Amino acid sequence: MGNAAPATLLKSPREIEIMARGGAILHATLMHAKAHVRPGISTMELDQLVESFIRSHAGAEPAFKGLYGFPGSACISINEEIVHGIPSRKRILVDGDIVTVDVGVKLDGMFTDAAITVPVGTIDELTQRLLDVTERSLAAGIAAAVPDNHVGDIGAAVQAVVEAEGFGVVRELVGHGVGFSPHEELQIPNYGKPKRGKKLSVGLTIAIEPMVNVGTPKTKTLSDKWTVVTADGKRSAHFEHTVAITEDGPRILTLPQG
């Protein structure tokens, strides 16, 4: 049994409302990027669209630009790339690809984080199932994010959905606390056992982000020191929301608010 998450990570209602405003901008940013995903566009073009869209909202900034030295505003990862793909003019999307767009927004000192994986043109049936299962596993993880549940309940919920479909859930990368900074100390694995790990308290804000592979869950990092790929070269999908733990259950902050 875990102890409660540190009180220093808990957000006030006012801080959560700021995050919800930033999260609404972030959701709109991802939908803007998705609308421009097509064969022939480069990942650098997508990154520039993301940055200009975020900055078109008063006070909003791309949280990832320069974070730990990352050069882009979005992590853009294609096919077997799981996370942290660096935008490039040389990376051109082609029909049948999938592309993950992972973005953070800073607004009034508070941070949110979200990701989607988008088909490029027409994708095969297995790849579509990968996207559907990953999105379903995120929904299951969010549903477990209720007061007095534990971090392990979230991971167990994600893992159950993924492994029932025969896919691999990445273990070497995890979700995390988010809010006062882009990455807060609490780790949110996408696997686990119920009632294990830190207890979820009202006011906690976390990024839940299943990364799901068609084959092995194992990963490796490319020579650029950023891009993480599947060890077997098979495809990976990634969906993420920032979620607040509230007395009324999980509140997804990276959706339109209203």
Inter-CA distances, 101 with 50, 81, 185, Å: 9, 11, 23
pLDDT in the model for residue 8: 83
Query: Rounded distance, CA 225 to CA 161, Å?
Result: 31
- Is 209 annotated to bind a ligand? Reply is yes
Phi-psi region of 96 (alpha: psi -120 to 50; beta: other; left: phi over 0): left
The residues with which 175 forms a beta bridge, in sequence order, are: 188
240 is in an annotated binding site: yes
Single-letter amino acid, residue 40: G
Neighbours of 205 (CB within 10 A): 27
- Is 125 labelled as part of a ligand binding site? no
Token digits for 49?
């669209």
Q: Determine if residue 183 is labeled as part of a ligand binding site.
A: yes
| pLDDT at 134 (0 to 100) | 98
Rounded Cα–Cα distance for residues 153 and 175 (Å): 13
Q: What is the pLDDT along the chain (258 residues), one digit of tens a residue?
A: 468 878 789 999 999 999 999 999 999 999 999 999 999 999 999 999 999 999 999 999 999 998 988 999 999 999 999 999 999 999 999 999 999 999 999 999 999 999 999 999 999 999 999 999 999 999 999 999 999 999 999 999 999 999 999 999 999 999 999 999 999 999 999 999 999 999 999 999 999 999 999 999 999 999 999 999 999 999 999 999 999 999 999 999 999 987
Cα angle 50, 52, 57 (rounded to 5 degrees) comes to 100
Measure the CA–CA gap between 115 and 210, rounded to whole angstroms.
10
Burial 142-163 (b: 16+ CB within 10 A, else e): bebbbbebbbbbbbbbbbebbb
Domain 7-252 has CATH 1.10.10.10: no
pTM score, two decimals?
Answer: 0.96
Residue type, 6: P
pLDDT at 24: 98
Which helix H or strand E contains 20, and what residues bound it? helix 13-36
- For residue 3, what pLDDT is reported? 83
102 is in an annotated binding site: yes
Distance CA 201, CA 151 (A): 11
